[in-house]
Structure 1
Protein backbone atom coordinates (compact mmCIF):
# COMPACT_ATOMS: atom_id res chain seq x y z
CA UNK A 1 0.00 0.00 0.00
CA UNK A 2 1.28 3.46 -0.82
CA UNK A 3 1.00 6.67 1.12
CA UNK A 4 -1.54 9.24 -0.07
CA UNK A 5 -0.15 11.99 -2.27
CA UNK A 6 -0.33 15.46 -0.69
CA UNK A 7 -2.70 17.90 -2.33
CA UNK A 8 -0.98 20.57 -4.50
CA UNK A 9 -2.65 23.33 -2.46
CA UNK A 10 -0.93 22.03 0.68
CA UNK A 11 2.50 21.70 -0.87
CA UNK A 12 3.67 23.54 -4.00
CA UNK A 13 6.48 21.00 -4.43
CA UNK A 14 3.92 18.17 -4.39
CA UNK A 15 1.95 19.99 -7.09
CA UNK A 16 5.07 20.38 -9.21
CA UNK A 17 5.99 16.74 -8.69
CA UNK A 18 2.46 15.56 -9.55
CA UNK A 19 2.52 17.64 -12.74
CA UNK A 20 5.91 16.25 -13.68
CA UNK A 21 4.77 12.68 -13.15
CA UNK A 22 1.62 13.27 -15.21
CA UNK A 23 3.71 14.79 -18.02
CA UNK A 24 6.16 11.88 -17.97
CA UNK A 25 3.28 9.39 -18.09
CA UNK A 26 1.92 11.15 -21.18
CA UNK A 27 5.35 11.06 -22.82
CA UNK A 28 5.74 7.36 -22.07
CA UNK A 29 2.26 6.61 -23.43
CA UNK A 30 3.14 8.39 -26.67
CA UNK A 31 6.42 6.48 -26.89
CA UNK A 32 4.70 3.14 -26.31
CA UNK A 33 2.22 3.86 -29.11
CA UNK A 34 5.05 4.77 -31.45
CA UNK A 35 7.00 1.60 -30.62
CA UNK A 36 3.90 -0.57 -31.06
CA UNK A 37 3.30 0.97 -34.49
CA UNK A 38 6.92 0.36 -35.49
CA UNK A 39 6.63 -3.23 -34.28
CA UNK A 40 3.48 -3.78 -36.34
CA UNK A 41 5.23 -2.45 -39.44
CA UNK A 42 8.29 -4.64 -38.81
CA UNK A 43 6.10 -7.73 -38.36
CA UNK A 44 4.21 -6.95 -41.58
CA UNK A 45 7.48 -6.49 -43.49
CA UNK A 46 8.83 -9.74 -42.07
CA UNK A 47 5.70 -11.62 -43.12
CA UNK A 48 5.91 -10.07 -46.57
CA UNK A 49 9.55 -11.13 -46.95
CA UNK A 50 8.64 -14.66 -45.86
CA UNK A 51 5.96 -14.71 -48.53
CA UNK A 52 3.18 -15.30 -46.00
CA UNK A 53 -0.07 -13.41 -46.63
Structure 2
Protein backbone atom coordinates (compact mmCIF):
# COMPACT_ATOMS: atom_id res chain seq x y z
CA UNK A 1 0.00 0.00 0.00
CA UNK A 2 1.34 3.42 -0.88
CA UNK A 3 1.14 6.53 1.24
CA UNK A 4 -1.14 9.35 0.09
CA UNK A 5 0.53 12.22 -1.75
CA UNK A 6 0.73 15.30 0.46
CA UNK A 7 -1.03 18.42 -0.79
CA UNK A 8 1.33 21.11 -2.15
CA UNK A 9 -0.03 23.62 0.40
CA UNK A 10 1.08 21.30 3.19
CA UNK A 11 4.50 20.59 1.75
CA UNK A 12 6.21 22.98 -0.68
CA UNK A 13 8.73 20.28 -1.58
CA UNK A 14 5.89 17.88 -2.46
CA UNK A 15 4.37 20.54 -4.71
CA UNK A 16 7.70 21.12 -6.42
CA UNK A 17 8.22 17.38 -6.84
CA UNK A 18 4.70 16.92 -8.26
CA UNK A 19 5.30 19.74 -10.76
CA UNK A 20 8.63 18.20 -11.77
CA UNK A 21 7.05 14.77 -12.28
CA UNK A 22 4.22 16.29 -14.35
CA UNK A 23 6.77 18.17 -16.51
CA UNK A 24 8.85 15.02 -17.02
CA UNK A 25 5.72 13.04 -17.96
CA UNK A 26 4.88 15.65 -20.60
CA UNK A 27 8.39 15.48 -22.01
CA UNK A 28 8.37 11.68 -22.08
CA UNK A 29 4.96 11.61 -23.78
CA UNK A 30 6.22 13.97 -26.48
CA UNK A 31 9.33 11.85 -26.96
CA UNK A 32 7.22 8.68 -27.20
CA UNK A 33 5.13 10.28 -29.97
CA UNK A 34 8.31 11.23 -31.84
CA UNK A 35 9.71 7.69 -31.54
CA UNK A 36 6.42 6.17 -32.72
CA UNK A 37 6.51 8.44 -35.78
CA UNK A 38 10.08 7.40 -36.55
CA UNK A 39 9.08 3.72 -36.29
CA UNK A 40 6.14 4.31 -38.65
CA UNK A 41 8.46 5.96 -41.20
CA UNK A 42 10.99 3.11 -40.90
CA UNK A 43 8.25 0.52 -41.42
CA UNK A 44 6.99 2.36 -44.50
CA UNK A 45 10.51 2.59 -45.93
CA UNK A 46 11.10 -1.10 -45.25
CA UNK A 47 7.84 -2.03 -46.97
CA UNK A 48 8.76 0.14 -49.96
CA UNK A 49 12.17 -1.55 -50.22
CA UNK A 50 10.58 -4.99 -50.03
CA UNK A 51 8.17 -4.09 -52.84
CA UNK A 52 10.99 -2.63 -54.96
CA UNK A 53 13.08 -5.79 -54.56
CA UNK A 54 10.28 -8.04 -55.76
C-alpha deviation, 1:3, in angstroms: 1.2
- Between structure 1 and structure 2, the one with the greater Rg is 2
User: What is the root-mean-square deviation in Å for CA atoms of aligned residues?
Assistant: 1.1
In structure 2, what is the equivalent of residue 45 of structure 1?
45
In structure 1, what is the equivalent of residue 36 of structure 2?
36
- Normalising by structure 1, report the TM-score: 0.93
> Runs of 5+ in structure 2 lacking a partner?
none
> Runs of 5+ in structure 1 lacking a partner?
none
C-alpha deviation, 1:2, in angstroms: 1.7
In structure 1, what is the equivalent of residue 23 of structure 2?
23
Higher helix residue share: 2
> How many pairs align?
52
Task: Give CA-to-partner distance per residue, 1:32-52, whole Å, 9 cap, x none.
Answer: 000000000000000000007
